[in-house]
Structure 1
Amino acid sequence: CVSDYFRQKFAQVTNPPIDPLRENHVMSLATCIGREMNVFCETDGHAERVAFKSPVLLFSDLVQLLELDDTYYRNSILDINYDPNEKDLHQAILDLCDQAERCVRDGTVLVVLSDRSINKDTLPIPAAMAVGAVQKRLVNQNLRCDANIIIETGSARDPHQFAVLLGFGATAVYPYLAYETLANLVDIGAVDKPYRDVMVNFRNGINKGLYKIMSKMGISTIASYRCSQLFEAVGLHQDVIELCFKGVASRIQGANFDDFQQDLINLSRRAWIKRKPLEHGGLLKYVHDGEYHAYNPDVVT
């Protein structure tokens, strides 16, 4: 996952700049969607904004957004999947940026980047790369204030991954795969709660994680954290930094576009083999042949 290459920056002081638990009343995840108008000139257009309490969207939130009046909230859904037989990852990102720029110039306000339509013959552009590259292109073309970047992705699961997407320019995130996984847990009886309660609890957990991440830098609102790029890259090649994450410090070079594409190919090969069950992964706890932990059995014994 691209998010794993980033380390969050924090204010190096004795006490945390903001306590996200006891000083929660001065923090906000409120997210406004719509064109950003001139703050020095009040007009009727300033009212054409939609506000959400969190940048983490529920399914109903996304549906409402996409059904808003095209006059002020025209949307374009851009598929961030690509055919590796036709182009490589680097070219796919450039084509996505060109497509996003054309859409915004034509009047699109909600640029929805989606990897939902993935199939056996395509690979998804990593969500963080897609968001970062599109954000950079729109800023360079003076179009960013005219559009919002909404990412519909299956790769966002934990607060750090959401923070990376928001920190590199996403206005809002819709983690469809996380919600569908939770819904499946309800269906099989692993979780004994209504669908909505489960989804809202998940979002609340992500919100708390975002509060904690923001508080480490003394940031009280998500609007101030968005596009801040408060990360340091570890193990990313300069080519990737220049195209997708320009401005981020990367003292240790590493993975380039070819490496990421090979990872995507390897993952795709495993994912579409029906006879193979889903892997546990082992990111959070020990699994044999999984992620290595400091408390692995061979270490403890």
Structure 2
Amino acid sequence: MSISQEGTQTNSVIGSEHIEWVQQLTSRARTAMNAVLEGKDDAVGLSLIALLAGGHVLLEDVPGVGKTLLARAMGKVVDGSVRRIQFTPDLLPTDVVGVNLFNQETKHFEFRQGPVFANIVIADEINRASPKTQSAMLECMAEGQATIDGATYQMPSPFIVVATQNPIDMEGTYALPEAQRDRFMTRISLGYPHTADEIDLLDNQIEHDPLSSATPVTSLEQINQAREIVRHVSAARQLREYIVSILHATRNDQTILLGCSPRGGVHLLRAAKARAALSGRTFVTPDDIQALAPSILAHRIIPRDGDDSELAAELIGRVLARIPISTGQ
């Protein structure tokens, strides 16, 4: 599936057939991931939006609710390289990005890639590592590259980090710096399963690994093509102004100590385009922005009453309630 072009890339045109193709692709991925996870369709949908929008995902919740399982399920359905990094207090930056080693035979230094050089990187319990090791991910996530000893190495495409973290008040955890949290497109909290879903989980996961039957349903080339289509979903100027007004409101709110960064607006618009495509539209609506704003923006603000994820989401909801909705296509 390719996008027709008229002259330059900025004139690329998408039609209903492109959107339908993206819907079919993500529907297969969603079905495959839901077969692995019980009752987590909303989280699966958000993770696929991030994948199509070129963003990274932060999964935050208590241990044992399926954070790593969701990350591994995404890796299974995409036919690309998947690496898992178990973050621990003794993990070093070179354990993540790689290191130059001296080759005795060639008498030259050779770069040995770290596990971050993969299409899907599962950063498990990222906030158990020291801030120095956490910072090794910053350039990789923001620019899709890593600089080691003055040499720059590009990440593969697509490249997405799916990080899990335990609540910060748990023993042996370090708070993610604001700059690193801002690199994540969305923060997802899985929560405990509903009673029926938990019963099904006990029935289905006691005797076999839920990932054992998961197989790739899409390719790297298809993901990159879908991303290109999503990038060309249209968003009217009024909607971009609406996003900016939301960002400004978080910066001027007396209950918010630190407001949203401009990157938050970029991520919100990209995610809104992906949601529009998954909804069968070639254009973004205010509903896309309002539906995604809490998940995209809440982890970028710091409430004055404490850095609490639920309170942050509530404050974003209050901001949305008082900002006039801009319309237009």
TM-score, reference length from structure 2: 0.30
More strand by share: 2
What is the TM-score with the length of structure 1 in the denominator? 0.33
The structure with the greater share of residues assigned to helix is 2
